[in-house]
Chain A
Amino acid sequence: GAGVSQSPSNKVTEKGKDVELRCDPISGHTALYWYRQSLGQGLEFLIYFQGNSAPDKSGLPSDRFSAERTGGSVSTLTIQRTQQEDSAVYLCASVPSASGRVYEQYFGPGTRLTVT
């Protein structure tokens, strides 16, 4: 079946512009994570959605970052007034059950964001 998809796969934007990154989780998966990986850095947790609960936003690095998950499915990560340090690969992962078992975390291919 279809896996987690993300779009665009690559995005180049000018400093100061807003960008939206999209994640389509596997249908029926209840939890969704956003991560980012900057060059040479480990994976950084950004935000976590679980069902209808309030999202865990503890990983968002600044108030320029926000994310929504509409209808418990598609998620959009928005970065306003992009900065060069926002350049990274942004990964989305979905999980099929409320247990959040890590081995069931399905990752999308990522969006490579480059801010010039």
Chain B
Amino acid sequence: DQQVKQNSPSLSVQEGRISILNCDYTNSMFDYFLWYKKYPAEGPTFLISISSIKDKNEDGRFTVFLNKSAKHLSLHIVPSQPGDSAVYFCAASWGSARQLTFGSGTQLTVLP
């Protein structure tokens, strides 16, 4: 039951260029979407989020876009930096408990 999907297991980009990470979901009940970043041997760290009533949220170099009709969201990182190299997880939540359903992650490598 893959309610949240990240179809690209890995992505490599050059430093200074744009990184675009994609995520699709199937559950129409999701009303909040988050991106987490994870380094090896550490827990997921919150990066940026978006409510289902919005289509864009920006925080510095990070922008998340939500297309509800397509059940698709994306994370843009501009400009990409080598320190951005990590696994990025898309997650979604709904309901009173607000537990997160995670995608399988995308390993981003930013090449100097």
Q: Do A and B bind each other?
A: no
Binding site for B on A (CB under 8 A): none
